[in-house]
Amino acid sequence: MDDQEDCPLVSVVISNYKGTSDLKVCLEAIARSDYLNFGITVVDVCTPGIADWISQSYPSVKLIAIVEDKGPGAARNAGMLGSLDSDYVLLIDDDVVVQRDTLSRLVSALAGAPEVGAAQPVLFRLARPAVLDSLGGSIDCLCFACRPTSRNVLVEYADIFYAEGAVVLRTSVVRELLELGLLFDESYFIYWEDVDFCWTILQLGYRIILVQEAVALHRRGVSGRLGGVEPFLVFLNARNRVFTMFKHLGVRRLVFAVLPMLFFQLCQALALLASRPRHSAALLMGTIDGLFDIRLRRRSRRAIQHARRRDDDWVQERMCPFNPTRLIRDFVRHYGVEPKSGGVFGMNIDLDSAWMKG
């Protein structure tokens, strides 16, 4: 790597929640980086004794302690606001372990492409490093999440819809978002805040890319399987999907997308009614709450629609195609609902075959 004075300054912002075991591994991995010019900020939520632990073990690390849990978006916002003097900001969760060259490869990708606003490494599972964890995230035209395929690693820099786990941002993009009042939406608390944030970056005309040669390891928790978490999180997932669609889609796309999206969420709630009634109620109430509270999104919608430099057609090129079979398959996987006679949502579908086609 070049000398420190030749390297752009990178602010590494680590979001940490109630503990230090993952954080310790994350910090030690960053310290081994071959990139020379970076500073580290830990934004901690509700870890007792974190200030003493940081000052004794990692005295060069800056700490921002948050005493009230307002979700990962609030933690990332606090870290970004303290990093505006840098050239790039690496947002990373405490359960991500970078490799020695991860940061240098991400910065190199951004430095050579001014149209790129953010870049994510390829993520593998921490416990099983041969297992792929993330090639970035995507959604379809009805705002249901889907995973990009392994084809993304066949090109050096693949366009993705949103980044997860770890992402390097241009600080100039962060400043632009700050001026528009469009950093992470803290009202989301959790789920969809990363989609919402990255969708705004795309609408401002920047690309978000996956850097094939940059690799990190991720210890994914239970949040990916909604049937294993509290109904409150199911509520947030449904509500925030409605919020995100309303904020970002243009009028024409919104008119044609909102009713099919609501139909599928209603079908999901009905499918859960017998086996998981609390989850079913949470999904239904989240959808209703999202509809009744969209008036609170009007200001952010106006800001996004006024500032956007790309239309829905350009953004949709980065979405995955809508596939009802995939949607059913993902529903079964997330909630652990086994299809019975008559299939899921009353449709006879071979899910094994659908998995291969999706």
- 50-77: pLDDT as tens digits: 999 999 999 999 999 998 999 999 999 9
**Strand, coil or helix: 162:** strand
Boundary residue ending a domain (170, 199, 223): 223
**Strand, coil or helix: 19:** coil
What is the C-alpha to C-alpha distance for residues 109 and 213, in angstroms, rounded to an integer?
10
pLDDT in tens, 164-209: 999 999 999 999 999 999 999 999 999 999 999 999 999 999 999 9
**pLDDT exceeds 80 at position 13:** yes
C-beta of residue 181 within 8 angstroms of C-beta of residue 304:
no
Query: Which residues face 44 on adjacent strands?
Result: 16, 65
C-beta of residue 300 within 8 angstroms of C-beta of residue 306:
no
Q: Mark whether 247 and 209 lie in a shared domain.
A: no
Tell me, what's the pLDDT at 113? 93
C-beta of residue 91 within 8 angstroms of C-beta of residue 166:
yes
Phi/psi at 145 (nearest 5 deg)? -70, 150
262-283 per-residue burial string, b: 16 or more CB within 10 A, e: under 16:
bebbebbbebbeeebeebbbbb
Checking DSSP bridges between strand 96-98 and strand 207-218, what pairing results, if any? antiparallel
- CATH classification at residue 42: 3.90.550.10
Phi/psi at 237 (nearest 5 deg)? -60, -45
40 within domain boundaries: yes
Amino acid 24 reads: K
Average pLDDT, the chain: 88
Tell me, what's the pLDDT at 337? 63
Boundary residue ending a domain (197, 223, 249): 223
pLDDT in tens, 221-269: 544 444 456 899 999 999 999 999 999 999 999 999 999 999 999 999 9
Q: Mark whether 274 and 330 lie in a shared domain.
A: yes
Q: Mark whether 303 and 219 lie in a shared domain.
A: no
pTM flag (> 0.85): yes
CA distance to 16, 92, 129, 215, per residue, from 96 (Å): 11, 7, 12, 10
Which of 86-95, 146-155, 225-234 has the highest average model confidence (pLDDT)?
A: 86-95
Helix (H) or strand (E) holding 124, with range, is strand 116-125
Q: Mark whether 352 and 219 lie in a shared domain.
A: no
**pLDDT exceeds 60 at position 1:** no
335 within domain boundaries: yes
Query: Residue 95 belongs to what domain range?
Result: 9-223
Does residue 63 or residue 344 have the better pLDDT? 63
Query: Which residues face 158 on adjacent strands?
Result: 210
Q: Mark whether 112 and 176 lie in a shared domain.
A: yes
Tell me, what's the pLDDT at 327? 85
Is 78 exposed, middle or buried (CB count within 10 Å of its CB: 0-12, 13-18, 19+)? Answer: buried
108 within domain boundaries: yes
Does residue 157 or residue 251 have the better pLDDT? 251
340 within domain boundaries: yes
Residue 196: partners with Cβ closer than 8 Å, 6 or more residues away? 184, 185, 188, 240, 243, 244, 247, 248
DSSP assignments along 34-73, one per residue: S--SEEEEEEEES-TTHHHHHHHH-TTSEEEEESS---HH
Q: What percent of the chain has pLDDT over 90?
A: 73
What is the C-alpha to C-alpha distance for residues 218 and 95, in angstroms, rounded to an integer?
6
Q: Mark whether 219 and 232 lie in a shared domain.
A: no
Tell me, what's the pLDDT at 358? 32
**pLDDT exceeds 80 at position 342:** no
SS3 for 75-119 is HHHHHHHCCCCCCEEEEEECCEEECCCHHHHHHHHHHCCCCEEEE
Q: Mark whether 213 and 235 lie in a shared domain.
A: no
2 within domain boundaries: no
282 within domain boundaries: yes
328 within domain boundaries: yes
Boundary residue ending a domain (223, 253, 277): 223
**pLDDT exceeds 60 at position 315:** yes
Q: Mark whether 210 and 241 lie in a shared domain.
A: no
- The DSSP call for residue 151 is G
Tally of domains within the chain: 2
C-beta of residue 117 within 8 angstroms of C-beta of residue 49:
no
Please list the alpha-helical segments (H only) found in the chain.
21-31, 50-57, 72-81, 102-111, 171-180, 193-203, 231-248, 251-272, 277-292, 298-307, 312-316, 324-335, 351-357
Q: Mark whether 64 and 115 lie in a shared domain.
A: yes
Q: Mark whether 194 and 244 lie in a shared domain.
A: no
Q: Mark whether 188 and 235 lie in a shared domain.
A: no
263 within domain boundaries: yes
Q: Mark whether 64 and 168 lie in a shared domain.
A: yes
pLDDT in tens, 278-308: 999 999 999 999 999 887 788 899 999 999 9
